[in-house]
Chain A
């Protein structure tokens, strides 16, 4: 039981993620999360404003079920499968985060400076959360995939487009982490 309750090492998680990808293709579909963002736009009636969203979202119900599963999986894991939700970070990172204004790094999964209710209810905190979402949603659909569609499936198929997209993920991530985050908090 300890094997399940302790954090899972990368060499367990990575192959299991590949298994999830296999299962989605085995069931005749594909593996990708961010296209659900478009489906949810369509569900919300975006087809009235932008023609792209006029597709029949019912044809994407298999993927909405997959995403509903993600929510349930998060609930199950956080309630019953992870008694200790601290993250064993590199001490250098804890020190570095403290210097840029994020305290108690790794004490829990998420920093209070971004994800606490206090942060959510401040104007700056709200804009950080909304901005992060906007960038992820816009960028994922501009490039045509996220970490699952480009990162796992695309690279597994050796798609040139996915190598370019993943290089982009890293350029953007490095700019944010090294050049912008130090001045936000």
Chain B
């Protein structure tokens, strides 16, 4: 049961993604067509509050439940990996209208077809690690 709190955060996050229509293919299409502020508002306001949260964590004004300073894992350096990986991700995000979080939320909604998308995503992660030595990073 020591992981139960993570499950609860997941339930909360899943409900937010559903209720804000972030899991809707149409909202993603509308975002890339620049026809609505909605998705920009969701991501933008999350980042603005996130900036404050991360600043307070770094200043030790906020701590973990055990009273420790938070560890923030740096992202891997490299323009190729971030740009090319990002572009490939973006192509799939706009095609399926779902990034990884919403895939799991849509599974909970009972969308059978999302199972194929999820299997594809798991397979995609596998293929990256199988062929990463041949890719520019």
Question: Which residues of A line the B interface, CB within 8 A?
Answer: 4, 7-30, 33-34, 36-38, 40-41, 44, 46, 49-50, 52-53, 61-63, 65-78, 81-82, 87, 89-90, 92-93, 96-97, 105-106, 109-111, 114-117, 119-120, 125-126, 128-159, 161-162, 164-178, 180-181
Contact assessment for B125 and A73 in the assembled complex, using a CB-CB cutoff below 8 Å: no
- Name the A residues within 8 Å of B79 (CB-CB): 164
Contact assessment for B36 and A90 in the assembled complex, using a CB-CB cutoff below 8 Å: yes
Minimum C-beta distance from B92 to chain A (A): 3
Rounded to whole angstroms, the CA-CA distance of A136 and B39 in the bound complex is: 19
- Name the B residues within 8 Å of A134 (CB-CB): 92, 120-121, 123-124, 127
Contact assessment for A173 and B93 in the assembled complex, using a CB-CB cutoff below 8 Å: yes
Contact assessment for B43 and A152 in the assembled complex, using a CB-CB cutoff below 8 Å: yes
With A14-B46, A17-B46 in contact, do A130 and B117 touch (Cβ < 8 Å)?
yes
Rounded to whole angstroms, the CA-CA distance of A15 and B94 in the bound complex is: 24
Minimum CB distance partner of A5 in chain B:
B19
- B109 contacts partner chain A, Cβ-Cβ < 8 Å: yes
Contact assessment for A133 and B46 in the assembled complex, using a CB-CB cutoff below 8 Å: no
Contact assessment for A171 and B87 in the assembled complex, using a CB-CB cutoff below 8 Å: yes
Rounded to whole angstroms, the CA-CA distance of A87 and B89 in the bound complex is: 24
